[in-house]
Amino acid sequence: MATNKKKDVLLKIQDLRIEAYADEKWFEIVHGVDLTLHRGEVLGLIGESGAGKSTIGLAAMGFARDGCRISGGSIEFDGMELTTTPQSALRALRGSRIAYVAQSAAASFNPAHKIIDQHTEAPLHYRIQKRVEAQEDAMELYERLRLPNPQEIGFRYPHQVSGGQLQRAMTAMAMACRPDLIIFDEPTTALDVTTQIEVLAAIRDIVDQFNTAAIYITHDLAVVAQMADTIKVLLKGEEVEEAPTAQMLENPKEDYTKSLWAVRSFQRDQKPRPTDPNVKPVVSVKNVDAAYGDTKVLDDVSFDIYEGMTVAVVGESGSGKSTTARCITGLLPPLKGEILFKGEKLPPSYKDRSKDQLRQCQMIYQMADTALNPKVRISEIIGRPAQFYMGLQGGELKSRVDELLDLIELEPSKYYNRYPTELSGGQKQRIGIARALAAEPSFIICDEVTSALDQLVAEGILKLLDKLQRELNLSYMFITHDLATVRSIADEVVVMQHGKVVEQGPKDVMFTPPHHPYTDLLLSSVPEMDPNWLSTLLEERGVDNIGEAAEI
Amino acid sequence: MSVFVVGYYSLLIAASCLAAYYKRREPFLIIFGLTLISIIVGIIGGIGALKAITTVVALLALAAGMSYAFKEFLVTITPERWAKELRTAPLTASFGMFVIFIYAIAGIFAPVIAPHGEAEVIASSFAPPDQNMLLGADQLGRDMFSRIIYGARNSVGLALVATALAFFMGALAGLLAATRGGWFDQVMGRAADIVMSVPSLIFALLMLSIFGTNLIVIVIVVGVIYSPRVFRLTRAVAGNVVVMDYIEAAKLRGEGNWYLIRKEILPNSTAPLIAEFGLEFCFVFLLIAGLSFLGLGIQPPTADWGSMVRENATLISFGEITPLIPAAAIALLTVAVNFVVDWMLYRSSGLKE
């Protein structure tokens, strides 16, 4: 990938400053960033959320989001100064010479039009190609991106193809006018590991083939290591350091970069199951079948979770992980089989369960944004379960809430009266944990709790969960598609595919070969820091079957 | 040429030059546009037309100034949390709030403000305005101004009560339907369809002729007619909230429906509901005015803007604008409420970002 470098400069950003409007004031969020990009070069922008990655990415198109403005510096694209170019000229540039690939293709495609119609929109608008030409070109791009059925797939609507395919179709769309620069804004963050690989491979190929320059924005270091020639690390709108990928990975200079690199090192000791055969598991899922309407989604799922242990349930999207959780909580009564709690059978529907049964099993959600009521204060969000189950009132309730806030490492006096919107993503997730703890449960379901967070914050959450487990002797069911998380926190692993349990066992056994083929696929798909990992993997697997992985 | 014309044009030209000099694009375009139009109008209509333009512009400027000052006044006297919201209000919204404020004052203090009683006959019928009667007399010789002040109390008060009733019924049913779903949702939905399928004025006429025209019947009938719209909106808004994870969390905690509605759903659906309240209020107000005009609403001698238009309608043939004054009062209130509602919709729809 680093073959065609050192050509002329395509994009040169100097001392870029961007301001955002909040609380009736403008304040600076990007403090003077420099950036130089040559033709055919891929630049990785990394940093935690709020570092200004996306804002800088958009600024490279001369665009500022609503409520933001470019307040200083210069953006020079191929000799054109974008900060002073009129809007109409900028618009002509976008789509034709600079393209943008958004994080969620599913949200960015218009669901009312066919994929190929949206693809050909730009070439038709700029009169680069006639409709038929543009369609043929689209099919060729689909083929190069190894989409199945390249002749036909474009004539489907966005909801008729899978997430990974849609993301590739979006990359094809960005290529439609053969732009000089593509900005990828976290294109694989919303995808699971097996799908991520095909998209990464596709993006890398196409960027190589057309010698396009790209800015690749992500918070996943392992991903950026595969894609970029140069990596730039950002923190709070300022550049931390910039270096060629290999050098950056081997020899980071700044402390912050080192801390980013060290994130995946958190690991805790694995606990074995209790040896005494009379000890009953806290939760035992026995031969559960479940269906949404007529579509069967779970088929004979069984596993046990013992006290104080963490069981990770892994699998790609659609494998039935979350549905299993819904069966355990009683939101989706199973068709067959039963859920045992400490040896007692739980009523299938949550409506029939007693207050105490409900209290024992709590849940932490993936999206803290939708899991916390935005119109309720933190004190009430956390206090309500304590009030509801324990009947705490007044001073007692307040001291319990303070205690819980202490447990999740948030300063009680500072956060007591805030609303969820005034918190960061990681803090919201902590509040979600506190709400679960307030019920004093013995079992907590963690549904992808770290996948919406960036790595430093996610590590903090994992450490907190681990600490709470030791202090309160909790059992976790940990739903995730991120095997790095599994490696750091799980005691036992359950692998699911197509609603069935493919393989289960203690973590050390699961992570040593021989594996079930599906487990192997999942394991080998986890990106590694080695910049040659993707190339090696693609060679091993053979390029042709990459596309197959996503087809469920 | 008179001093007025010279002053008029020199002021406009000076203002547009100033705007151009300070590179204020929009004010310049407006002022200079007005200058060009004035030249044409001045040639065709003479000094009279120019004076009319001056009056209109002065009125607009006065209204804008008043709205601005009123907004600043509200920002100053309200607590910080509200003040922050109010500061974002456009001039139209503060104008709306100002008008609503004036109507509220007129309605609440009607007996103090009105110089005469609403049913008091003090002059000959259709007497012209004099020092005693600001707007002249109506067809029975009652003071028009006093009746308009009292009308604010009767018409607006009645519309307010009826809208509140419609909202109470519709929102409660909508929230319950969204939370419980199933057969309850179906039954309420079909009931709403039935009420909505009958034209509202015909339905109101029918009900009022069956049950007689007293205030309670009017309130209930109007409430029933308008509750299905509120029901539909509430159900749709609450339907979006019900699927959120925090509702699931509350359900799994074992909370009852009433808690869900009160604490989790209602606070997250108030913004569109308040906006709808304003809109609905206008419709209710117009329906009651319409009913009064037809003689089935508020009964004489109680003052009411709708019936005042009807009673004085004969004057229109004599080129008098008196019957249009209560109509203008209705129009002004409707416009004012809509200004405020627009602002609220804008805020609640998330367009602000």
Asked whether the predicted pLDDT for residue A194 surpasses 80, the reply is no
At A310-343, the pLDDT tens digits run: 899 988 777 888 888 888 988 888 888 888 888 8
Q: B254 CA to chain A: closest CA distance, Å?
A: 7
Which three-class secondary structure state does DSSP give residue A339? strand
For chain A, count helices (H), then strands (E): 22, 20
CA neighbours closer than 13 Å in the CB half-sphere of residue A358: 20
Q: Which fold has domain A283-528?
A: Rossmann fold (3.40.50)
Q: Is A364 on the interface with B (CB under 8 A)?
A: no
We find that the CATH architecture of domain A9-261 is 3-Layer(aba) Sandwich (3.40)
Task: Read off the pLDDT band of A350 (50, 70, 90).
Answer: confident
Cross-chain Cβ contact A358/B252 below 8 Å: yes
What is the torsion angle, in degrees rounded to the nearest 10, for the CA atoms of residue A148, residue A152, residue A155 and residue A160? -40
Q: Which residues contact B328 (CB under 8 A, 6 or more apart)?
A: none
Q: Is A487 on the interface with B (CB under 8 A)?
A: no
How many residues in total does chain B contain? 353
At A283-305, the pLDDT tens digits run: 888 888 888 878 888 888 888 88
User: What's this model's pTM, rounded to 2 decimal places?
Assistant: 0.75
DSSP category for residue A32: E
Residue among A421, A434, A521 nearest A481 (CA): A521
Residues of chain A contacting B251 with CB distance shorter than 8 Å:
331, 350
Query: Testing the interface with A: which of B88, B252, B263, B269 to mutate, by most A Cβ within 10 A?
Result: B252
What is the torsion angle, in degrees rounded to the nearest 10, for the CA atoms of residue A204, residue A208, residue A211 and residue A217? 20
Q: Which domains does chain B have, with CATH numbers?
A: 3-64 (no CATH), 106-348 (1.10.3720.10)
DSSP category for residue A549: G
- Helix runs in A308-377, H state only: 321-329, 355-360, 368-371
Cross-chain Cβ contact B253/A370 below 8 Å: no
Distance CA A262, CA A434 (A): 27
Distance CA B234, CA B214 (A): 30
User: What is the average pLDDT score of chain A?
Assistant: 82
Strands (DSSP E) along A403-442, which ranges?
Answer: none
Residues of chain A contacting B84 with CB distance shorter than 8 Å:
24
Q: Which residues pair with B103 in a beta bridge?
A: none
Distance CA A447, CA A444 (A): 9
The DSSP annotation for A82-136 comes to: TTTS-HHHHHHHBTTTEEEE-S-HHHHS-TTS-HHHHHHHHHHHTTSS-HHHHHH
- Highest average pLDDT, of A6-15, A333-342, A504-513, A520-529, comes from A333-342
Distance CA A231, CA A223 (A): 11
**Which of residues 50 through 109 in chain B touch A, CB cutoff 8 A?**
84, 87
Which three-class secondary structure state does DSSP give residue A191? coil
Question: Under a CB-based contact definition with an 8 Å cutoff, are residues B65 and B72 in contact?
Answer: no
Maximum Cα interatomic distance, chain B, rounded to a whole number of Å: 84
Which three-class secondary structure state does DSSP give residue A377? coil
Nearest residue in A to B250, CA atom: A385
At A15-54, the pLDDT tens digits run: 888 888 776 678 888 888 888 888 888 888 888 777 778 8
Q: In this predicted model, which residue has the larger pLDDT, A119 or A7? A: A119
Cross-chain Cβ contact A66/B353 below 8 Å: yes
Question: Under a CB-based contact definition with an 8 Å cutoff, are residues A115 and A142 in contact?
Answer: no
Q: Which residues contact B250 (CB under 8 A, 6 or more apart)?
A: B259, B260, B263, B264
At A152-189, the pLDDT tens digits run: 888 888 888 877 788 888 888 888 888 888 888 888 77
Q: Phi, psi (5° rounding) for residue B241?
A: -80, -35
- Write out residues in chain B with pLDDT < 70, as ranges: 1, 348-353
Output the pLDDT for position A548: 44
Residues of chain A contacting B249 with CB distance shorter than 8 Å:
363, 365, 371, 435
Interhelix angle B157-180/B266-294, nearest 10 degrees: 140
Which amino acid, one-letter code, is at A331?
A: L
Q: B258 CA to chain A: closest CA distance, Å?
A: 14
Residues of chain B contacting A388 with CB distance shorter than 8 Å:
253-255
Distance CA A484, CA A502 (A): 19
* DSSP element (H, E) containing B121: none
Residues of chain A with CATH 3.40.50.300: 9-261, 283-528
Output the pLDDT for position B186: 93
Q: Which residues contact B336 (CB under 8 A, 6 or more apart)?
A: B95, B96, B97, B98, B99, B100, B103
The DSSP annotation for A476-513 comes to: EEEEES-HHHHHHH-SEEEEEETTEEEEEEEHHHHTSS
Distance CA B274, CA B167 (A): 10
Asked whether the predicted pLDDT for residue A543 surpasses 60, the reply is no
In this structure, what token pair is assigned to residue A12?
């040169």
At B185-196, the pLDDT tens digits run: 999 999 999 999
